Structures are given as structure tokens and as C-alpha cells.
Structure 1
Amino acid sequence: MPFWYFAGMDLKSCGYCKETVDLSTGPHIHDPKICKKCGQTLPAEAYDRWPSSADGRRHVCSQCVTDESAAGRAQRVIEKDKQFRDDKQKLKEHRYRWTRRIVQRSPDPIFRWALLDPQGQEVSKEQALQDIDIAENLEPDDYPIY
């Protein structure tokens, strides 16, 4: 078909029914619709709004989206905790230590935590981990010559 035939039309493929629809005539609504994740048939209001969809709604119900988000959050917390414990163990093995420093002296003092290297100098955690990584991955040819 010639290009001018589609002028003024907003054509989009519906991910739900796989039809090509003209959105300039109004939304292409499926009510009720089947969730692509859990398979339940639910009313359109049970799906979050999604402007890029032909019917203006997601193809996964709100409950499945919430469950997926919660599972992802839980997994990220587990990974972050594991990374924290691994970093803490690595710093301890290389004789780094945490100490409290007084930020403000008062009847109710304010403290902050500082990381000290084996020589007692304050360093950032990122710098300490980078130094440890470099020290652990030195090749025999990389040792400094004095």
C-alpha cells in the first residue's frame, strides 16, 4: 500500500490478540484479559497502565508485577549482604580495621566509622578493596624492583 494510505493512522500491533489496530480511533481494549504470567482472567483494572500498549494496560497483572518486584528486591538484598560480608572478610584478612572517630564533641557526641589500613592510615573502603585486589593479583614479573 502507498505511504499516503496510512496518513493520520496510528497503527500498532496488539501484544495480546496479535492484531494490527488503529489507535487513532480510540483504545483497543480487552476486558477481561488473561495475565501472561499467572494465567488468571482478570478485569482490565487489575492491570497497570502502560501507554505503549495498544490497550493502554500491561500484559501482566498488578499482583504479578508486585510479586516479581518483591522477589527482585529480596534477591538484591541477599546479594548486597553477601558482598558486604565478603568485603568485610577480605579487609580483615589483610589487616584493615574499622574504628570510630569523633566528629563532634558534645555531651551527646557524634561519631563516624573510619577504615584504617595496616599502617594506621585512614583510607576509603573502595581504595582498600582496590589495593587488596592489586596485591592479590600480582604476577611474579609485577613485583617492584628495589
Structure 2
Amino acid sequence: SPVLGHFNPILGKFSPIWGISFGFWGILSDFGVFSSFWGQFTPILGHFIPILGHFILIWGHFSPIWEHFIPILGHFFPILSHFNPIMGHFSLVLGQFRVNLGQFGVIQGHFWLHLGPFWGHLGGFGLILGHFGPF
């Protein structure tokens, strides 16, 4: 981290240029706003490094427990592999159903297309009736 500390001011100077070059190409133009402030946030990140170190120590206590669960998970993988053909068959049936539904949707679309002029005439008839409404 002391070595990185020497590079932080240098990176802080180059990061706005990095953001401008991205903005010039129209790619990630918001990155320029983030990169220009990056140099100001690096000291704050330095305060979080010890906190992360404490979490790593806590995770070290849990890792032996996690290693005991890995063999148990290994027993579940053969069981899951038996479900793969069933899921594959289900997806084929679902795919066929979607194809059939798609054909029905096309028929339904043509049906509503043919009904369109009828609704147009009915609308015109409604306008004629609207004129006689007050009488």
C-alpha cells in the first residue's frame, strides 16, 4: 500500500484525461465524472482497508465450516443430473407449446385484422346515432 500511495497522485492526474478520452469517443461519458473524483476518494478507501482485514479474519473462521459442506454438495450433483433430462423434456414441450401459441396468435391477428373494418363501420354507425341522440 505505501507503493500505491506514491502512485495515487499520479493516477489522480491521469484519471481526468482517461475520462475525457472515454467521453471523446462517446463511450461511458459518465465515467469522466467518476474518474475526476477518484483521486479524492482514495484516502477514504485507505480507512476501509483495515475494516476489510477484520472481515477476512472472520471469514477465515467460517472457511473450515464451508469446507465441510463441499462434500455434502457433491452428493447433490448426481441427484441434480437426474433432473436434467426431465427439465430438457419440459423445455421441449414448452417450446412446442409456444410454437403452437405463436401460430394461434397469427390466426388471432388475422381474425382481428378482418374484424377491423367491421369495428370501423360500427364506429361510423355510432357517430350517426350520436346525431340522433338529442332527438
**Structure with the higher helix share, 1 or 2:** 2
Higher normalized contact order (CA 8 Å, seq sep 6+, divided by chain length) = 2
Task: Give the TM-score normalised by structure 1.
Answer: 0.32
Bigger radius of gyration, 1 or 2? Answer: 2
Task: Give the TM-score normalised by structure 2.
Answer: 0.34
